[in-house]
Amino acid sequence: MSFANVFSKRNRALLRELVATDFKLRYQGSVLGYAWSLLRPLLLFLIMYVVFVRFLRIGQGVPHFPVYLLMGIVLWNFFAEMTSQSLGSIVGRGDLIRKIRIPRWIIVLSSSLSALINLALNLIVVGVFIAVNHVAITGAALWMPLILVEIYVLSLGVSLFLAALFVKYRDMSYIWEVVLQGMFYLTPIIYPVTYIKNPTLLKLMFLNPMAQAIQDVRHVVITPATVTIRDHTVLQGQLLQYAPFALAIIILIGGVLYFRKQAKYFAEDI
Amino acid sequence: MAEVAVHVGDVSKTFRLPKERQTTLKGSLVNFAKRAKGYEEQQVLRDISFDIYKGEFFGIVGRNGSGKSTLLKLLAGIYSPDKGGIQINGRLTPFIELGVGFNPELTGRENVFLNGALLGFNRKEMRAMYDDIVDFAGIERFMDQKLKNYSSGMQVRLAFSIAIRAESDILLIDEVLAVGDMLFQQKCFETFKEIKKRGKTVVFVSHDLGAVEAFCDRALLINNGDMEHIGPTREIIKRYSNLLADAEVIEAEKESKKTGKKKEVVHSGTGDTITVEDAEVVDMHGKPLRHIEEGEPFTVRVHFDAKRDVFHPVVGIGLMDEDNISVVGPNTQESDFVTGTLKGRGYIDVTFKNNVLAPGGYTVRAAIFDRSGAVPYDFAENLLKIKVTGKKRHGKVFLEPTWKVVNKS
């Protein structure tokens, strides 16, 4: 896995075909086909909207709460989808691993790109909701791609760890399912972060890169009223406010190193 | 000698085989707590060293489980060796099997592009050679159908057509000729000839000794993870077929030990005077043989046990082929050989200096009659199984003819 040839001609071609195959196979046999990749998130959002905003009446007082909620769910779904798909990616492609010499990381990368494509489609749906809700977009929204990069870096690091671990321990799929469910409720996705009254808990919560990133995206795109890690109630002015970024990078480096070490034995361990 | 294309130096490979598949965390935790190793180590290859030269057609032969596929995977870079090193000089095909990554849910066309990408071609390059690939496979009509509707022969043809495009200096080929119809096999052979002509290096693993003999310049024989021999193909094939024959004999011996029965020898005759005890095959120096090579002289040694002195009996043996048809059946009367008096225990050697038996399996029977040849003292059937190794021949015996053609016009 030398970095010089990460994006060589061969690897780019392979990556492209793997992602294209993934996409082709995903909706195969369904009548609506690709339309589902937009229809599915749209319908799921509608259910969430009805349940949380109309019935439970969560988020009153937060401007544009439906879009605010949507954005959180979309970003979280990306993280959850990418990591759980990558987890099984190496084992799932066992036929390739055992019979051909290709860079192993390409397989994880291709499943991450599939998730990325889905994120883009979901964000289009969010865009529609933003327009419908008359959310005032400001120049601050230009920060969004950078925050998305942070989420991708974190997800990729976690994915590499999980994909390599799953080859050895098939328990990982169950463990990860539970961890994801726990993290989902520990991250301010379906409730406004202002519901957390304990200041220590609030600070701890924000150390999770996903919490920090979701709040930051909401802050720059939807409403400046969103509480972020830089808020005076959280970690304003403290060095610790950079911890989530550092954590994402550390996880990626660790993931790359661990994956690289294990990749040699994938063919025999699968 | 020519330049080295592949250097394998002292390569060993050990697999960890889980005792009970320890793929769960609990399993490893329990084992960790017990300080028990959750696996057994199995050495698949031991200190393998050889060189393959540029432009050589190199064969790897061995029985199932001998480690030849592991060796090929090591060469392809799919496994990494525990010990030793492999140096590859040139570009190597990265796959060891045809049609890797073929997806039954995709169409033939989509699979061509996917498979091409696995071999390192981008879309543009694949488009350029698409027509040639389809043409060679001869399945234009089916390209827009899903692969799952293809016959296995069609799949192999398509896979082979893509695989031979791989621009590599060193090709790894594992058992490709096992599938496909005769016509396509012919095509494969022609492709191999062409590849050989172009001076590419080919590493060829196959059970088809005919194909190995037809193409390979040199070959390597591995047995139970050890390098048995490396040398000219003809010699390796001879050694390999001998190895196979021995293995068969050992297997049969094991089987008979397990079942408790020695041999199912069927005795008939009076049995009160002299009996045939056993028989074995030995070479010219009296050394026991597990198999006989084609054309090699051999001796059938028949052990007897005379209850009393037997004056001038007639002794005969017979070799039966696999269909239980008598191939040869000499006896002392026919040969005008005087046996004299047989006393106590002893043996009679029946030597065939001129061995014309065609390769295959034979069953030995032996009989001892009175001096007139009319009263059988003992007639022992199914006494011994022997194996003649070598090229497959038509007919029961092989007599090397000389040939001559006369055109009368």
Percent of chain A at pLDDT > 70 equals 98
Query: Tell me, what's the pLDDT at A152?
Result: 97
Across the interface, which of B80, B96, B110 has its CB nearest the CB of A99?
A: B96
Position of tokens 């796959």? B95
Whether the per-residue pLDDT at A170 is higher than 70: the answer is yes
B78 contacts A267? CB cut-off 8 A: yes
Residue A223 Cα, gap to closest chain B Cα (Å): 44
Query: Tell me, what's the pLDDT at A112?
Result: 95
Kindly identify which residue of chain B lies nearest to residue A9, measuring between CA atoms: B122
Query: Tell me, what's the pLDDT at A220?
Result: 95
Does residue B43 or residue A152 have the better pLDDT? Answer: A152
Does residue B293 or residue A270 have the better pLDDT? Answer: B293
Across the range A219-230, mean pLDDT stands at 91
Please list every residue in chain B whose beta carbon sits closer than 8 Å to the beta carbon of residue A16: 117, 122-123
The full DSSP string for chain A is --GGGTT-HHHHHHHHHHHHHHHHHHTTT-SSGGGHHHHHHHHHHHHHIIIIIIIS-TTTTSTTHHHHHHHHHHHHHHHHHHHHHHHTHHHHTHHHHHHB---THHHHHHHHHHHHHHHHHHHHHHHHHHHHTT----GGGGGHHHHHHHHHHHHHHHHHHHHHHHHH-TTHHHHHHHHHHHHHHHSSSSS-GGG---HHHHHHHHHSHHHHHHHHHIIIII-TTS--TTSTTTTTT-GGGGHHHHHHHHHHHHHHHHHHHHHTTHHHH-
pLDDT per residue as tens digits for the range B225-272:
999 999 999 999 889 888 888 887 787 777 777 765 556 788 888 888
Across the range B357-374, mean pLDDT stands at 91
Query: Tell me, what's the pLDDT at B378?
Result: 92
Across the interface, which of A102, A175, A264 has its CB nearest the CB of B118?
A: A102
Percent of chain A at pLDDT > 90 equals 56
- Per-residue confidence at B59, pLDDT binned at 50, 70, 90? very high
pLDDT per residue as tens digits for the range B287-330:
998 889 989 999 999 999 999 999 999 999 999 998 888 999 99
Query: Tell me, what's the pLDDT at B297?
Result: 93
pLDDT per residue as tens digits for the range A184-211:
999 999 888 988 889 999 999 999 999 9
pLDDT per residue as tens digits for the range B193-225:
888 888 889 898 877 787 888 888 999 999 989
Whether the per-residue pLDDT at A4 is higher than 60: the answer is no
Mean per-residue pLDDT over chain A, rounded? 90
Q: B266-389: which CATH architecture?
A: Distorted Sandwich (2.70)
Name the pTM for this structure: 0.78
Residue B283 corresponds to which tokens in the numbers above? 């070479």
Closest CA relative to residue B290, chosen from B384, B396, B395: B384
Please list every residue in chain A whose beta carbon sits closer than 8 Å to the beta carbon of residue B41: none
A24 contacts B76? CB cut-off 8 A: no
- The structural domains of chain B, with segments of one domain joined by +, span 4-91+168-243, 266-389
Query: Tell me, what's the pLDDT at B316?
Result: 94
Residue B151 Cα, gap to closest chain A Cα (Å): 20
Compute the distance between CA of residue A87 and CA of residue A158 in angstroms, rounded to an integer. 9
B96 contacts A13? CB cut-off 8 A: no
Least confident of A265-269, B52-56, B208-212, B297-301: B208-212
Non-local CB neighbours of B37 within 8 Å, separated by 6+ positions: B31
pLDDT per residue as tens digits for the range B103-161:
998 999 999 999 999 888 889 999 999 999 999 888 888 999 999 999 888 888 898 88
Kindly identify which residue of chain A lies nearest to residue B75, measuring between CA atoms: A101
Query: Tell me, what's the pLDDT at A84?
Result: 95
- Per-residue confidence at A1, pLDDT binned at 50, 70, 90? very low
Query: Tell me, what's the pLDDT at B198?
Result: 85
CB of A178 less than 8 A from some CB of B:
no
- Per-residue confidence at B37, pLDDT binned at 50, 70, 90? low
Across the range B72-89, mean pLDDT stands at 91
- Per-residue confidence at A153, pLDDT binned at 50, 70, 90? very high
Query: Tell me, what's the pLDDT at B249?
Result: 77
Please list every residue in chain B whose beta carbon sits closer than 8 Å to the beta carbon of residue A170: 23-24
Q: B4-91+168-243: which CATH architecture?
A: 3-Layer(aba) Sandwich (3.40)
Percent of chain B at pLDDT > 90 equals 41
A101 contacts B24? CB cut-off 8 A: no
* Nearest 10 degrees: Cα torsion A167, A172, A173, A177: -160
Kindly identify which residue of chain A lies nearest to residue B172, measuring between CA atoms: A100
Please list every residue in chain A whose beta carbon sits closer than 8 Å to the beta carbon of residue B121: 13
Kindly identify which residue of chain B lies nearest to residue A266, measuring between CA atoms: B79
Please list every residue in chain A whose beta carbon sits closer than 8 Å to the beta carbon of residue B16: 268
A17 contacts B23? CB cut-off 8 A: no
